[in-house]
Amino acid sequence: MILKDYTLDSGYLGGLAEVITKQAKKIQDVFFDNCGIDDHELSILLEGFLCMSRMNSLIYKNNEFLHKSLACIKPVLLKQDPHNL
């Protein structure tokens, strides 16, 4: 999944998180660059990523990453090999 220079609103991100949850086996690489995603919105997406059994890469550039996002990404990063990032 690649999104670059595409503005995402909260409603769209909620739907995207639901798709990620339902299609977790098909999505392995995620790239968000300059999409106007704030900390709360990223935390919603990261909750969707938690259900993924395998993620090859998560690239997140030029968007906000603060305490809510950090709290949500910790469980993803703490998964044991081979199911971590």
The runs of H, that is alpha helices, within the chain are 10-22, 39-49, 67-77
The tokens describing 14, both together, are 């909620």
- 66 against 7, higher pLDDT: 66
Contacts of 68 (CB under 8 A, 6+ apart): 39, 40, 42, 43
pLDDT tens digits for range 42-84: 888 888 777 776 777 888 899 899 999 999 888 877 776 665 5
Is the whole model's pTM more than 0.75, yes or no?
Answer: no
pLDDT value, residue 15: 85
